[in-house]
Chains A and B, each alone.
Chain A
């Protein structure tokens, strides 16, 4: 017998009610999930961590709680790290939860081959996990709400494919997946990344590294600024136009970035709404540092300190011998700004073809007055990113070493020169300094 039955009014009503309940329940669940995400308080600043390039969301590169080596250094441990072919880029390591994460040196000229992403115990140098990925910046370690461990995010920048942020589970504990196939927890990218863009080198990378602010990762996909959920990898929002890609500086839920016309913009981390902080600077800004009292903006040979209203509190310009070097990236802490300035003209020899050499200088963060210039050390160009702590500023030098300078007067406290290949920027955590150099990751301590 062939069944036959038209819809009854009761069936229709029940179906309508069911569909309504489904949609309402879904909307309520989404609302709750989003509210919970917004209310999730960002992790307090970890005193004993350096979880991203330049240490914190504001890019201060200053570790106030650290007790770094000042009376010389010796190697506590070292372990090999895979390099890509013909490496000329060297991002610095990051440290969190007693684990050091580092990307091996790699080549910037499109040479195929991937460096290693390595996780090492900070205490004894034991390798906890490693994977070979085309990572192109220092990792950023962010909390992940749904997981027991954090997310370690690295930016991959293939030449022709869309750029992507890749999130791995933090090493150790339950998350041993790194050791297997190296499958990431998530991969984030955007449909249409801006193809008209410029980007500024930062701390040994040709692309700005991702920034972890609470459970949000702020990064650039080519010229598109994006906020990515550290747990799910969901792209929360993107900028509606291409921007010059520089390392964002995040403070109090706001990401400061260089705007499209040499100005500075502020993006709300939650909503992606933006406001203009400064319409335009006379010269292109290159680096931003968000300290509690000032937003420092620096470019080729200049620094400006903006107050909370975006007004210039002080500014300084370095002019020596006609040479010009970027003043940043800066390190800011304990009332001092550590910057880069041109060497006196006598050092460069005054010859036009001579490579500009630069020196580290310390400025008073309150008024920009020069406290000292470390004349004895020429600092690296592409690798420059100072790491500061109580009594120590560590900087890669032009001759490939890592130099420890006294924060009081800029005198050289120690030099670490591991060999043929140059040192990366450093990370200072606890009583140790971590650095990648000569195809190894080193932990340095006071003798």
Chain B
């Protein structure tokens, strides 16, 4: 890609390009709208990516459906019915599960049901890890090796755990604004992480590179995060088939992230390290 040369102007001490002046070949600056447009174009040319992500969403929906019939307590995703709006953006592409199990429901479970629960959670994780690796590998022309899938799965699981056990609190709007801004800042700088993992970067290098690629594109990426996060939340709030609807949004997220990495990150690049 031609932007490989352009990123040299933004190199840091660590040798990572900041991609601050990444532009399309036609010279247009990087914007959120442009990322969506480019991402949708990528998806149009690769409909199998959409299909893979939607199948993963369908799997999550079926697991939810089965969980509602088993004897283990579940907590339902309440979504918009709580009267709140949430930016539900997952750095590692996924959809909100319709039902989850609270930690208090795990105490005293019989071993057989613990295995059952673990297997279903593993299935939910595995399908989205598989779909994510396939989708980014297809859109970025990368090789989905077992090592790549392992690293992707590890980060996916860590991200899931972090979000499941992250503390939350009801605070006044003015108090909450700095936290929301910090959240958006961090997440926007990690937008490229899943794509870079699939490109073959190690976990730490992928985080560092994602941070540097995002530098200078905070507003554009913040817009992507907010729009994708809101759309995910609203679609997952649907009373029936929420995960399937949310998976369509997840496919758009994959497209937008891939478009960003293609424009800002250069053609390859695990080899840059």
Binding site for B on A (CB under 8 A): 1-7, 11, 15, 18-19, 22-23, 25-26, 29-30, 33-34, 37, 144-149, 167, 169, 173-177, 183-186, 229, 231-234
Taking CB atoms, residues of chain A closer than 8 Å to B139 are 3
CA distance A305 to B47 in the complex (A): 71
Contact indicator A146/B69 (Cβ below 8 Å): no
Apart from A4-B46, A11-B48, list 9 A-B contacts with CB within 8 A: A3-B45, A7-B48, A22-B59, A33-B66, A34-B69, A146-B113, A173-B108, A175-B107, A186-B73
Can you list the 3 inter-chain pairs with the closest CB atoms, starting with the nearest?
A: A231-B71, A183-B104, A186-B73
Q: List 14 A-B contacts (CB under 8 A).
A: A3-B46, A4-B45, A4-B46, A6-B47, A7-B51, A19-B55, A33-B70, A145-B71, A146-B70, A146-B71, A174-B108, A184-B104, A185-B104, A229-B71
- Decide if B138 is an interface residue (CB 8 Å cutoff): yes
Contact indicator B62/A169 (Cβ below 8 Å): no
Taking CB atoms, residues of chain A closer than 8 Å to B63 are 26
- Decide if B158 is an interface residue (CB 8 Å cutoff): no
- Decide if B42 is an interface residue (CB 8 Å cutoff): yes
Q: Which residue from chain B places its CB closest to the CB of A177 in the assembled complex?
A: B107
Q: Which residue from chain A places its CB closest to the CB of B73 in the assembled complex?
A: A186
Q: Which residue from chain B places its CB closest to the CB of A147 in the assembled complex?
A: B108
Contact indicator B62/A23 (Cβ below 8 Å): yes
CB of A160 to closest CB in B, whole Å: 16
Taking CB atoms, residues of chain A closer than 8 Å to B143 are none
Taking CB atoms, residues of chain A closer than 8 Å to B71 are 33, 37, 144-146, 229, 231-232
CA distance A145 to B107 in the complex (A): 14
Taking CB atoms, residues of chain B closer than 8 Å to A174 are 107-108
Contact indicator B42/A2 (Cβ below 8 Å): yes
Mark contacts of B34-61 with chain A using CB atoms, 8 A cut-off: 1 yes-contact digit, 0 otherwise.
Answer: 0000000010011110010001001100
* Interfacial residues of chain B within 86-127, with CB under 8 A of chain A in the complex: 102-105, 107-110, 113
Contact indicator B69/A30 (Cβ below 8 Å): yes
- Decide if B141 is an interface residue (CB 8 Å cutoff): yes
Contact indicator B69/A11 (Cβ below 8 Å): no
Contact indicator A169/B107 (Cβ below 8 Å): yes
Q: Which residue from chain B places its CB closest to the CB of A15 in the assembled complex?
A: B51
CB of A154 to closest CB in B, whole Å: 16
- Decide if B226 is an interface residue (CB 8 Å cutoff): no
Contact indicator A232/B46 (Cβ below 8 Å): no
CA distance A391 to B110 in the complex (A): 41
CB of A40 to closest CB in B, whole Å: 9
- Decide if B72 is an interface residue (CB 8 Å cutoff): yes
Contact indicator B45/A232 (Cβ below 8 Å): no
CB of A119 to closest CB in B, whole Å: 14
Contact indicator B68/A29 (Cβ below 8 Å): no
CA distance A4 to B58 in the complex (A): 25
- Decide if B65 is an interface residue (CB 8 Å cutoff): yes
CB of A4 to closest CB in B, whole Å: 4
CA distance A149 to B55 in the complex (A): 38
CB of B2 to closest CB in A, whole Å: 12
Binding site for A on B (CB under 8 A): 42, 45-48, 51, 55, 58-59, 62-63, 65-66, 68-74, 102-105, 107-110, 113, 138-139, 141, 262
Contact indicator B109/A147 (Cβ below 8 Å): yes
CA distance A316 to B68 in the complex (A): 48
Q: Which residue from chain A places its CB closest to the CB of B64 in the assembled complex?
A: A26
CB of A350 to closest CB in B, whole Å: 57
CB of A14 to closest CB in B, whole Å: 9
Decide: A232 near B51, CB < 8 A? Known: A5-B45, A30-B66, A146-B113. Answer: no
CB of B71 to closest CB in A, whole Å: 4
Taking CB atoms, residues of chain B closer than 8 Å to A231 are 71-73
CA distance A229 to B69 in the complex (A): 10
Q: Which residue from chain B places its CB closest to the CB of A215 in the assembled complex?
A: B71
Contact indicator A5/B48 (Cβ below 8 Å): yes
Contact indicator A11/B51 (Cβ below 8 Å): yes
CA distance A37 to B113 in the complex (A): 14
Q: Which residue from chain A places its CB closest to the CB of B72 in the assembled complex?
A: A146
CA distance A185 to B138 in the complex (A): 44
Taking CB atoms, residues of chain A closer than 8 Å to B141 are 1, 3
CA distance A183 to B71 in the complex (A): 18
Q: Which residue from chain A places its CB closest to the CB of B114 in the assembled complex?
A: A146
CB of B127 to closest CB in A, whole Å: 10
CB of B41 to closest CB in A, whole Å: 8
Contact indicator B48/A177 (Cβ below 8 Å): no
Contact indicator A3/B104 (Cβ below 8 Å): no
Contact indicator A5/B107 (Cβ below 8 Å): no
Decide: A15 near B55, CB < 8 A? Known: A5-B45, A185-B105, A232-B74. Answer: yes
Decide: A29 near B66, CB < 8 A? Known: A3-B138, A5-B48, A37-B71. Answer: yes
CB of B26 to closest CB in A, whole Å: 14
Contact indicator B62/A22 (Cβ below 8 Å): yes
CB of B115 to closest CB in A, whole Å: 12
CB of B112 to closest CB in A, whole Å: 9
CB of B119 to closest CB in A, whole Å: 11
Taking CB atoms, residues of chain B closer than 8 Å to A183 are 102-104
Taking CB atoms, residues of chain B closer than 8 Å to A34 are 69
Contact indicator B104/A177 (Cβ below 8 Å): yes
Taking CB atoms, residues of chain B closer than 8 Å to A146 are 70-72, 109-110, 113
Q: Which residue from chain B places its CB closest to the CB of A182 in the assembled complex?
A: B104
Q: Which residue from chain A places its CB closest to the CB of B41 in the assembled complex?
A: A2
CA distance A273 to B115 in the complex (A): 35
CB of A36 to closest CB in B, whole Å: 9
